[in-house]
Amino acid sequence: MTGVKICGLTAPGQVEAAARAGAAYVGFVFFARSPRNLAADHAAGLALQVPAGICKVALTVDADDAMLEALLAAVPLDMLQLHGRESPERVAQVRARFGLPVMKALGIASAEDVAGVARYEDAADMLLLDAKAPAGAALPGGNGLAFDWRLLAGKRFSRPWMLAGGLTPETVARAVTLTGAPNVDVSSGVESAPGVKDARKVADFVAAARTASGGEPAPCLR
């Protein structure tokens, strides 16, 4: 059964919808340019509403130690998602310093990008393979774009991983079938407007993901 992460939650009803649908992970965004960006106090209130057993993930972009320290002091979290240009060395540093599992997002557009994933397999606890953002894009992810899933056909990684990028309730089963993804991540694909999750789309997405046969889903690693 494919594990599902619903990312970019911004309101209590969205947390409830993700939990009710059966999401294994929920994501909160801390990046000022995103329409899903949250202040720490708002995120803390949402995180406290997440039922036990669902992994609470913080998406950050090239965050420094001071930002991460402040975030973790304010918000009860289970995992850090690094969605910027962090090097393998920086990923390992964050993992060692803050004592939480770290998921590294990597943009994919070519076979060379897939080959480059190996550089992060020793540094991160989990990998998120997302569509590479177009040149000049304001956001590193959440752009509603997919990549050629055939690039991942037959690939195996030494760390648990998630597939992201342009997934929707209509496409997620095919994406899992083509890639063997054990986990999937969605944000804009279940929204009625940027930052506004649609409860029906969330439920349909989780149900569709579960119909596909991917790899073994990863539990929350904390």
Residue 218 located in a structural domain: no
Q: Name the band, by pLDDT with cuts 50, 70 and 90, for residue 219.
A: low
Give the DSSP letter of residue 37: B
Q: Model pTM?
A: 0.93
- Residues 95 and 113: their CA atoms lie apart, in Å, by 23
Residue 94 located in a structural domain: yes
Decide: helix, strand or coil at residue 108: strand
Residue 221 located in a structural domain: no
Burial class (CB in 10 A: 0-12, 13-18, 19+), 106: buried
Decide: helix, strand or coil at residue 102: strand
Residue 204 located in a structural domain: yes
CB neighbours of residue 73 within 10 Å: 9
For the cut 80, the answer to whether the pLDDT of residue 78 exceeds it is yes
Note down the domain range covering 176. 3-211
Q: Which amino acid is at 46?
A: L
Q: Which amino acid is at 196?
A: V
Q: Which amino acid is at 96?
A: A
Structurally, the chain folds into a number of domains equal to 1
For the cut 90, the answer to whether the pLDDT of residue 36 exceeds it is yes
pLDDT digits (tens, 9 = 90+) for 132-171: 875 555 555 555 678 999 999 999 999 999 999 999 999 9
Residue 220 located in a structural domain: no
Residue 34 located in a structural domain: yes
Residue 216 located in a structural domain: no
Decide: helix, strand or coil at residue 160: coil
* pLDDT of 211: 86
pLDDT digits (tens, 9 = 90+) for 183-210: 999 999 999 999 999 999 999 999 999 8
Q: Name the band, by pLDDT with cuts 50, 70 and 90, for residue 60.
A: very high
For the cut 60, the answer to whether the pLDDT of residue 128 exceeds it is yes
Please say whether the dihedral angle defined by the alpha carbons of residues 197, 209, 16 and 49, taken in this order, is positive or negative.
negative
Residue 217 located in a structural domain: no
* pLDDT of 17: 98
CATH number at residue 182: 3.20.20.70
